[in-house]
Amino acid sequence: EVRRGLVAAMVMPHLLRHVGERMARYLLLTGELISAEAAKQAGFINEVVPGEQIWATADAWVRSLAEGGPNALAKTKELLRQFSRQALSIEEAAQASAAPRLSEECRQGLAAFFARQPAPWTAGHSSDA
């Protein structure tokens, strides 16, 4: 944006949080475009794949996410948002970690793990078992 006489104020906090001050300074002050590999190294993206593998890679990510307990995923996302905005106290972090461990979802997930079975919310789970 600086090459157009603009200030990238809206993306600045996100850049600082995701790639750190050094890389954010470089990108914001130079306006340079970066390659996909550089974006990966900077922490913008998780993976670089050839174009023909995009959908298969996305499908693999979706399947991986689907392995997580729905409530555990939701709580994890909530905590990630909180942690990214402010540091939680040790007490808050301990409480946030302990409460889900008492849930039915956690009980079922651990039971499946110890039985070497898929968790009940996964596609590999059979309700006949």
Q: Does the annotation count 1 as an active-site position?
A: yes
Active-site choice (1, 47, 67, 104): 1
Count other Cβ atoms within 10 Å, centred on residue 55: 10
Q: Is the four-CA dihedral 110, 111, 113, 117 of positive or negative sign?
A: negative
78 and 100 in a single domain? The answer is yes
24 and 62 in a single domain? The answer is no
75 and 92 in a single domain? The answer is yes
Domain holding 95, by residue range, is: 57-114
123: in domain:
no
Question: What's the pLDDT score for residue 124?
Answer: 67
Find out whether 43 and 15 touch, Cβ atoms under 8 Å: no
Q: Look at the chain and report how many structural domains it folds into.
A: 2
64 and 98 in a single domain? The answer is yes
Q: What is the mean pLDDT of each run of 10 residues along the chain (129 residues)?
A: 76 83 92 91 90 96 92 90 69 71 82 89 64
Question: What's the pLDDT score for residue 3?
Answer: 74
124: in domain:
no
**Strand stretches in 2-129, DSSP E:** none
87 and 41 in a single domain? The answer is no
27: in domain:
yes
Question: What's the pLDDT score for residue 127?
Answer: 58
38: in domain:
yes
110 and 62 in a single domain? The answer is yes
- Quote the tokens at residue 104: 């039915």
